[in-house]
Chains A and B, each alone.
Chain A
Amino acid sequence: MTAFGISAFGAYVPRLRLDRAIIADAHRWAMPGLRSAAKGSRAFANWDEDAITMAVEAARDALADRDLSKVAALRLASTSLPFADLQNAAIVARAIDAPHQIASSDVAGSQRAGTSALLQALKGTQAELVIGSDHPSAKPASVQELTFGAGAAAILVSADDVVARLIGSATRTNAFVDHFRASGASADYQWEERWIRDEGYARIVPEAAQAALADAGLGIGDIQHFIMPSYLKGAAEAVAKRLGFTGSIASGLEDGIGYSGAAHPLLMLAAVLERAGPDERILLLGFGQGVDALVLQATDAIVAARPARGIAGSLADGVPTDSYLRLLSFQGGIDMEWGMRAEKSSKTSLSEQYRSAGQMEAFVAGECGNCGTVQFPQLQYCVRCNAPAERLAPVPLRDVPAQVQTETADWLSYHPAPPLRVGFVTFDNGARVLMEFVDVGEGGIDTGTPLRMVFRIKEQDRQRGYNRYFWKATPLRAA
């Protein structure tokens, strides 16, 4: 056992929720049987959320105000990365203002990507940030459409303030094809559930779990928390039974989140770490073309390590929605008539984007060294005293407390989630910025509503397939 381990963890779940009954009702004409599987609510990504934006928010929750200078690597695990050739992890690294020396990489291609990335980091020797972020999509009227959700969890692995250590592990590779999704396809193709459960989970997982326990010198009776994510109902229980596990089977986070692909093992781990006590042991399993099995043990530091939001905070943070067509539209499942205003080109000038990265990526304002005015964007001269831009010192705005100064709901402009809510935000350091407001619930917002900043897709260039990212404001508390 080394001093190395999990130092911090955090999570992000899209605020938007939809009751599964609403989805099932929309399909009742064709698939009345879906109603029986339609319990609770699921999370779904807003039009401007993807694996990158969710990863940024989870990382911010895990890291809080930690110094990132010693973090050597960032691994982003997902099966729904927006870019096939443009490293998604690099965009995440820049948004959280990680040092340029960081080694970033995308880990993809399997539901096991999250646990594999975490295991590699825990077996390494350097501080790494591992993020699982996923929003698997499913065909309308499929069971998966009800089961799937969206979310991200971030785990910092380092030698400092360790809250849980890896005490044993095992990996098995097996080309068991329970489902697959071809590159570029929007939904999975899945084999029969009973076969997956009985020949897949029940046969492949226990052997790896036992090997990991043996590696740790433990038996199943030494485990307090059993984490086995699956999109199949009852799969975790079947494996636990096969292993002879009689303790607490970790919640699959079905209600309020839903199965979130490669992120799901890390989301479930984050939820367990939020309530685990010192010395408690966790068996974490990740299934997909084989198995990753990790045995973790919490330290005394676990008690003080709860993230600001985490899973509990995310569950309490939901904004209920009421229309299945909204979810369908956000996932590209319906081609809406948005009017001619939507025809405007959304082309991003990549050279301009790179030139302005210093202030755009991590939302960095400038504080005038002459008059003290904090301003965004940073232009050529200070807005108040005309001091040259060289006198502006960088001041990140993304974590500065802020509130609504004015807000208007614009139904005229093209926006994928109408109305476009726009107005002035005032930050506690005096900066004033015209911003877009997102995830505003039924309660609305008004002058003085406290806000937090979130990293989002600013604009989607559907013609060229490019997302441009920037920061938006959302109410601090769900309304």
Chain B
Amino acid sequence: MATGIKDKVAILGMGCSRFGERWDVGSPDLMREAFEEALADSGIERETIEAAWFGCWGDGVNVGNSAIPAAMALRLEGIPVSRVENMCATGTEALRGAAYAVASGAVDIALAIGSEKLKDTGFGGLPPPFKGTFNDLWMPMGSAPAGFAQLAPYYRAKYGTSKEDLKRAISHVSWKSHINGQHSPKAHFRKPVSMETIMNAPMISDPLGLFDCSGVSDGAACAIVTTPEIARALGKTDLVTIKALQLSASSGRETQTNDWDGSYVANTRIAAAKAYREAGISDPKGQISLSEVHDCFSITEMVTMEDLGFSDEGRAVFDILDGRYDRDGAIPCQIDGGLKCFGHPIGASGLRMAYEVYNQLLGRAGERQLSGPSIGLTHNLGGVPYQGVAAISILGRMD
């Protein structure tokens, strides 16, 4: 029986570019920014890297297909470089490739890098993705906010939540992330915003207003991974290891049957259960110190708190309003500002989440530093609640 990769892979170094409207640079320069930080952090030379995984989503506005653009930007001479794409879960997918390569013993040191240049589209949003020749024939393609907004009516109907309570809770989600984001020097948005402003913002897709939607940003993030043994041999004493890396993709059950009631994200629950098993976590509420979740929209973060088992079903609204996920709460969430404020360059986001958890675990998070975190979780969600990909990583200090 598979034993998983718990503690088989250590993070040797990480890097993250400044996120935001990076009119000054393209994707190759963003990659360079993140890569140089990670190289310096790891203490290795680039020639030591034996394999790389490059995550990017939008080939139409980014660097194009294949891994060649990453290999050229970073001058990764003669090593296998793979491009991965799994919608907004692309960053974690890249990390998964590199971690599995190390865990399998295929290579000693591997690189995962995610990069996205979203601000070269010419307009303030995501380019509409291609659905495939078959889905084009029948599938209506709503925007991302339209897909996630549909969680609201289902959730309210199931738990009898009032429209007002739900709106206040999701507004609190964004309010909290804006407070956190001001302490992240690399974040896209670094200004607190009042509850009143958030609640009265123009509607994008009911009940999601402008401040319920994450930023559209440029950025890159990367990780260099190896085995704990090699990390120690390279002089690292304070190790952060991967406790679990799990991913779940929709098979069509949510969209084609009446099994799913629409109030949660089934893939997140499946991936979380597997990740907790792999990491040996029996009590996520008690054992996990912090989380970086996929708050593409505030309501996604809200239901994710239940999907990850941090809140009991139907209680996330009240836990959020009680401050349970604020920086001084029981399980701080988006301590770096999250997608909402740090930004959401699609292919980089999963690795950006890991970057924050990694720095928190090493006590290097500056003004954002939490007190003695031991286990952190990242949750990276691609697609829409009814048809998507959920990727979860659990990172922790190695004893």
User: What is A's interface to B at a CB cutoff of 8 Å?
Assistant: 339-341, 344, 348-349, 352-353, 356, 360, 373, 375-377, 379, 383-384, 405-406, 408-414, 420, 422-424, 426, 430-436, 447, 458-459, 468, 470-471
Interchain CA distance A113-B123 in the complex, whole Å = 48
Q: CB of B351 within 8 A of chain A?
A: no
Interchain CA distance A65-B204 in the complex, whole Å = 43
Interchain CA distance A339-B258 in the complex, whole Å = 36
Q: CB of B206 within 8 A of chain A?
A: yes
B110-137 contact mask (Cβ, 8 Å, vs A): 1 or 0: 0000000000011101011000011011
Other contacts beyond A412-B205, A424-B150: 6, CB < 8 A? A352-B136, A356-B134, A383-B251, A383-B256, A408-B150, A432-B255
| Residues of the B chain whose Cβ atoms lie less than 8 Å from the Cβ of A384 | 253, 257
Q: From A348, A405, A413, give the contact of B142 (CB < 8 A).
A: A413
Question: Would B257 and A406 count as touching, CB distance under 8 A?
Answer: no
Interchain residue pairs A-B with the least CB separation, the first 3:
A410-B146, A349-B133, A412-B143
| Residues of the B chain whose Cβ atoms lie less than 8 Å from the Cβ of A360 | 137-138
Question: Would A412 and B138 count as touching, CB distance under 8 A?
Answer: no
| Residues of the A chain whose Cβ atoms lie less than 8 Å from the Cβ of B125 | 341, 412
Q: CB of B91 within 8 A of chain A?
A: no
| Residues of the B chain whose Cβ atoms lie less than 8 Å from the Cβ of A349 | 133, 136
Enumerate B372-388 residues with CB–CB distance to A below 8 Å.
386
| Residues of the B chain whose Cβ atoms lie less than 8 Å from the Cβ of A432 | 255-258
Question: Would A434 and B386 count as touching, CB distance under 8 A?
Answer: yes
User: What is B's interface to A at a CB cutoff of 8 Å?
Assistant: 121-123, 125, 127-128, 133-134, 136-143, 145-147, 149-150, 153-154, 157, 204-206, 251-253, 255-258, 262, 386
Interchain CA distance A433-B206 in the complex, whole Å = 22
Interchain CA distance A373-B256 in the complex, whole Å = 9
Question: Would A348 and B143 count as touching, CB distance under 8 A?
Answer: no
Q: From B123, B136, B147, B251, give the contact of A340 (CB < 8 A).
A: B123
| Residues of the B chain whose Cβ atoms lie less than 8 Å from the Cβ of A379 | 252
| Residues of the B chain whose Cβ atoms lie less than 8 Å from the Cβ of A406 | 150, 153-154, 262
Question: Would A383 and B252 count as touching, CB distance under 8 A?
Answer: yes
Question: Would A353 and B137 count as touching, CB distance under 8 A?
Answer: yes
Interchain CA distance A70-B62 in the complex, whole Å = 57
Interchain CA distance A379-B250 in the complex, whole Å = 14
Question: Would B121 and A340 count as touching, CB distance under 8 A?
Answer: yes
Interface of A is mostly: mixed
Question: Would A412 and B145 count as touching, CB distance under 8 A?
Answer: yes
Question: Would A420 and B255 count as touching, CB distance under 8 A?
Answer: no
| Residues of the A chain whose Cβ atoms lie less than 8 Å from the Cβ of B252 | 375, 379, 383
| Residues of the B chain whose Cβ atoms lie less than 8 Å from the Cβ of A356 | 134, 137
Interchain CA distance A405-B263 in the complex, whole Å = 12
Question: Would A375 and B206 count as touching, CB distance under 8 A?
Answer: no
Question: For residue B262, which residue of chain A has the nearest CB?
Answer: A406
Interchain CA distance A413-B140 in the complex, whole Å = 10
Interchain CA distance A427-B256 in the complex, whole Å = 11
| Residues of the A chain whose Cβ atoms lie less than 8 Å from the Cβ of B386 | 424, 434
Interchain CA distance A414-B256 in the complex, whole Å = 25
Question: Would B140 and A436 count as touching, CB distance under 8 A?
Answer: yes
| Residues of the B chain whose Cβ atoms lie less than 8 Å from the Cβ of A471 | 138
Question: Would B257 and A420 count as touching, CB distance under 8 A?
Answer: no
> For B138, B204, B262, which residue has the most chain A Cβ atoms within 10 angstroms?
B138
6 A-B pairs whose Cβ atoms sit less than 8 Å apart in the complex: A341-B125, A373-B257, A408-B147, A420-B140, A433-B255, A468-B136
| Residues of the A chain whose Cβ atoms lie less than 8 Å from the Cβ of B138 | 360, 376-377, 458, 470-471
Q: From B136, B141, B258, give the contact of A426 (CB < 8 A).
A: B258
| Residues of the A chain whose Cβ atoms lie less than 8 Å from the Cβ of B256 | 375-376, 383, 431-433
Question: Would A352 and B133 count as touching, CB distance under 8 A?
Answer: yes
Question: Would B258 and A412 count as touching, CB distance under 8 A?
Answer: no
Question: Would B123 and A339 count as touching, CB distance under 8 A?
Answer: yes
Question: Would B137 and A470 count as touching, CB distance under 8 A?
Answer: yes
Interchain CA distance A431-B256 in the complex, whole Å = 7
Question: Would B157 and A408 count as touching, CB distance under 8 A?
Answer: no
Question: Would B137 and A458 count as touching, CB distance under 8 A?
Answer: yes
Interchain CA distance A384-B204 in the complex, whole Å = 35
Interchain CA distance A376-B139 in the complex, whole Å = 11
Q: From A341, A373, A408, A424, give the contact of B123 (CB < 8 A).
A: A341
* Closest Cβ–Cβ distance, residue A407 to chain B (whole Å): 8
* Closest Cβ–Cβ distance, residue B30 to chain A (whole Å): 22
Q: From B123, B147, B253, B262, give the contact of A383 (CB < 8 A).
A: B253
Interchain CA distance A435-B256 in the complex, whole Å = 12
Interchain CA distance A340-B124 in the complex, whole Å = 10
Question: For residue B260, which residue of chain A has the nearest CB?
Answer: A432
Question: Would B142 and A410 count as touching, CB distance under 8 A?
Answer: yes
Question: Would B143 and A435 count as touching, CB distance under 8 A?
Answer: no
Q: From B122, B134, B146, B149, give the contact of A420 (CB < 8 A).
A: B146
